């Protein structure tokens, strides 16, 4: 097996040496290669009419994905902070250090989150908040559908 590998390497080296020692063969090979490149560039396919949008759409998808991942991380961080705060307040209340009026807190939070003015926080308010959030994120970004798709993917899998 070692002999065969040595013979194969010797044969390859002798072919390379014969090409490099004979300038006419090397020049002919280079000329044929250059002609093939010129022919292929002349007959290249014209870009599709929508290709000018591929860059902006890709940019929108990438920025949407990054914003989705960041939004998910931020949402988790805020939820964690609210949860830890709630636990802390409950512990302090349990041991008698403070008295918390949870009904007042609930009313104040619902009032601040109520977007349609009906006095309660419901699915309509969540949709209004989502639309406002996405409008801020999509401002001045071309290809909003690409951004939305990227955002959804980033939020889902980020």
Q: What is the pLDDT of residues 98-149, one digit of tens each?
A: 999 999 999 998 888 898 888 888 899 999 998 998 888 877 766 566 888 8
47 vs 10, higher pLDDT: 47
Burial call 76-88: b when 16+ CB within 10 Å, e when fewer: eeeeeeeeeeeee
């Amino acid at each position: 097996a070692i002999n065969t590998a040595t013979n194969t390497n010797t044969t390859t080296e002798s072919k390379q040496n014969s090409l490099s020692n004979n300038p006419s063969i090397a020049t002919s090979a280079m000329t044929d290669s250059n002609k093939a490149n010129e022919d292929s560039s002349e007959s290249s396919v014209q870009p599709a009419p929508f290709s000018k949008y591929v860059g902006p759409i890709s940019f929108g998808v990438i920025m949407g994905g990054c914003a989705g991942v960041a939004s998910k991380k931020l949402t988790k961080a805020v939820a964690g902070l609210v949860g830890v705060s709630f636990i802390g307040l409950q512990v302090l209340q349990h041991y008698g250090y403070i008295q918390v009026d949870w009904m007042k807190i609930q009313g104040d939070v619902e009032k601040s989150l109520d977007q349609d003015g009906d006095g309660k926080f419901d699915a309509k308010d969540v949709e209004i908040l989502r639309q406002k959030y996405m409008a801020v994120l999509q401002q001045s970004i071309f290809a909003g559908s690409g951004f939305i798709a990227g955002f959804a993917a980033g939020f889902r899998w980020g």
